[in-house]
């Protein structure tokens, strides 16, 4: 079950399907994947290749999804992506929150693609989830929060800052996207980093929203992240400092969605 279609959440779908697993995802995302829309998974926009897959079970708000011996309720929680979903198990008060929040942060929002209200929409989704008063939060990244109430309080404060400071929200997204690019490529040669960034659609959009040129933003982004320690220079390559699992180079050698083979009809 995909909470949303970013590459670190759907990148294993093709392999899982080849092994016989079914894939469930939000209905609008499922329809776009079935059509092979060029914008699927935001893969080309973010330069995060994803192996072709299909969605077997489209999910809508309020739908019940049987997983093992439990019936989970689908909760639409847009913000991090428009189609982001959470899963709620009322009997046990367990909530799968995807990337909406973690023990240490909230999901970044894309004001360029999803509109200026994306941060406010994410905040409303967080409040909706907090109102469920879950006993256990199951985020996609990081440890399980020891205190769900405290985790939501911190997330709501952080999300409110993104609403109040749109430029900060753009910077936050740019830092996250760039760090992920370094992670999946085992770093990028230092002399190639800025040309790489100049060619990225997400950076061009961020520069427009911040009133900068792409070249100026690329230089400032690299400098800022180096000074903060989020990025490190090692053996002539820039690397993301955060702990991460290496990605095989072969996994990036796949076509972007506009060139995916035609999909079988959704069952």
Share of the chain residues as helix, strand and coil, in percent rounded to the nearest 5: 45, 15, 40
Strands 70-76 and 64-67: antiparallel
Domain assignment of residue 202, yes or no: yes
Tens digits of pLDDT across the chain (267 residues): 999 999 999 999 999 999 999 999 999 999 999 999 999 999 999 999 999 999 999 999 999 999 999 999 999 999 999 999 999 999 999 999 999 999 989 999 999 999 999 999 999 999 999 999 999 999 999 999 999 999 999 999 999 999 999 999 999 999 999 999 999 999 999 999 999 999 999 999 999 999 999 999 999 999 999 999 999 999 999 999 999 988 999 889 999 999 999 986 655
Domain count, the chain: 1
Domain assignment of residue 97, yes or no: no
Give CA–CA dist 170/188, Å, rounded: 22
Domain assignment of residue 152, yes or no: no
Q: Tell me which residue range forms the domain holding 198.
A: 167-252
Give CA–CA dist 86/59, Å, rounded: 11
Domain assignment of residue 219, yes or no: yes
Domain assignment of residue 183, yes or no: yes
Q: What is the pTM of this model?
A: 0.94
Closest CA to 111 of 160, 174, 161: 174
Quote the tokens at residue 154.
């911190």
Domain assignment of residue 248, yes or no: yes
DSSP 8-state assignment for residue 42: G
Domain assignment of residue 19, yes or no: no
Quote the tokens at residue 24.
């469930």
């Amino acid at each position: 079950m995909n909470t949303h279609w970013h590459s670190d959440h759907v990148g294993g779908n093709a392999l899982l399907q080849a092994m016989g697993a079914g894939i469930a995802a939000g209905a609008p995302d499922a329809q776009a994947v079935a059509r092979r829309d060029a914008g699927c998974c935001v893969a080309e926009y973010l330069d995060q290749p994803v192996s072709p897959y299909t969605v077997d079970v489209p999910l809508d708000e309020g739908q019940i999804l049987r997983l093992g011996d439990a019936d989970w309720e689908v909760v639409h929680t847009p913000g991090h992506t428009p189609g982001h979903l959470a899963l709620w198990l009322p009997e046990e008060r367990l909530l799968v929150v995807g990337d909406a929040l973690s023990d240490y942060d909230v999901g970044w929002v894309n004001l360029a693609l999803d509109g200026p209200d994306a941060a406010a929409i994410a905040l409303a989704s967080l409040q909706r989830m907090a109102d469920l008063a879950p006993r256990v939060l199951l985020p996609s990244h990081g440890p399980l929060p020891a205190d769900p109430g405290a985790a939501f309080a911190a997330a709501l404060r952080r999300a409110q800052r993104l609403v109040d400071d749109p430029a900060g929200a753009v910077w936050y997204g740019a830092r996250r996207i760039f760090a992920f690019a370094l992670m999946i490529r085992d770093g990028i040669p230092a002399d190639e980093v800025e040309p790489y960034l100049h060619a990225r659609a997400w950076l061009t959009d961020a520069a427009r929203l911040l009133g900068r040129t792409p070249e100026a933003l690329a230089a400032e982004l690299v400098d800022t992240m180096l000074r903060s320690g989020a990025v490190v220079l090692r053996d002539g390559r820039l690397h993301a400092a955060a702990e991460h699992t290496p990605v095989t180079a072969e996994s990036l050698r796949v076509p972007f969605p506009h060139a995916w083979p035609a999909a079988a009809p959704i069952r």
